[in-house]
Amino acid sequence: MSQIVHNSGTNFSLYYNVLNYFKTIMSNHPSISEVTQGDITKIDVDQFPAYPIGNINITESNFGTNITNYTIELTVADKIKNKNNESSGSVNAQTIPFYGVDDVVDIHANTLGIINDLTSYTQRGVQGFDINDDITCVAFAEEYNNGLAGWVATFTLTTHNDRNRCLFFLINPSGSGYIIQDCDTGTQYRATLNGSGSVGQVFASKTTPNSSRDITTYYDYKCYTIVDTFTNNDEYNFVNLPILALPYTDFENCAVCDLWTNPQVWGTTPQNWSSGPDVAYRVWQFD
């Protein structure tokens, strides 16, 4: 069974993760038998092998300075069943004065309790969401083609959103950048960098940088030389290309950069990293 971690590292501002979160807690609730997603009126013709059902629908979203707000519709519904004036306390059946020919009152009582469980857990059990405003619950009965009754809870779910403006450029806002040359192929590219550079600088980079910034392996790195700058041109090959310190942001020449970025076998690994490309290589020592 899927679990929700209280202090979760999940990025709950993502649409998919919001949906998956509610699907998970509804699937884990002992009183919900089926979980669906989308407009409840679109699935009302479906018949499920067991009830109650829980449904999640996101109807609206907006961005704040560093938050994402989602308008959530959480529906819990059960199949209406006719009664033969026989009640059993073990199934929370209705009693006088709630006498009737079906169990709608029972359904409303039980499904509202389920919604209370789901929203209370969301408010207090997960450090990823906030429900700051009131939760509006509207009851329904026999409004759908498959004879369901229950409640629709509507509320605003607030999630943190870094909205980092430095992740990438969609356009080059200044029309300027650097002309860089691949140390291996000599191919030149137009690029914008994630830091300042200078003509003559030799740096190591990856077109897909490690998002954790914890560089632990020398794999698939490239060395580039900054050969010139350009202006008044929005045609470029790389945007926000990272300058990695491995350990230098300027290796001064391609040969030194190559030593740091290409995997080496023992016989071609320098004895030290500070003497340039002409340093002696390591050798096996024997007694």
Q: How far apart are CA 30 and CA 88, in angstroms?
A: 20
List phi, psi (to 5°) of 134: -65, 155
> 194-245: per-residue pLDDT in tens?
888 999 999 999 865 444 444 444 457 889 999 999 988 777 788 888 898 8
pLDDT number for residue 174: 66
pLDDT number for residue 286: 40
Amino acid residing at 87: S
SS3 155: strand
pLDDT number for residue 9: 52
The burial class, CB within 10 Å (0-12 / 13-18 / 19+), for 30 is exposed
> 23-54: per-residue pLDDT in tens?
999 999 999 999 999 887 776 566 777 889 99
| Residue given tokens 């959480």 in the structure block | 74
pLDDT number for residue 215: 41
Non-local CB neighbours of 50 within 8 Å, separated by 6+ positions:
33, 34
Of 158, 151, 166, nearest in space to 40 by CA: 151
* This model's pTM is above 0.75: no
Please, what is the average pLDDT of the chain? Answer: 78
Which pLDDT band, with edges at 50, 70 and 90, does 268 fall under? Answer: low
238-241/188-193 β-pairing: parallel
- Strands (DSSP E) along the chain, which ranges? 34-37, 53-63, 67-79, 129-130, 136-141, 148-160, 177-182, 188-193, 202-205, 222-230, 238-241
pLDDT number for residue 6: 41
Task: Give DSSP secondary structure letters for 172-202.
Answer: -TTS-EEEEEETTT--EEEEEESS---TT-E
pLDDT number for residue 102: 75
Amino acid residing at 234: D
Distance linking the first and last C-alpha atoms of the chain: 59
Domains defined along the chain, listed by start: 15-160 (3.30.2000), 177-268 (no CATH)
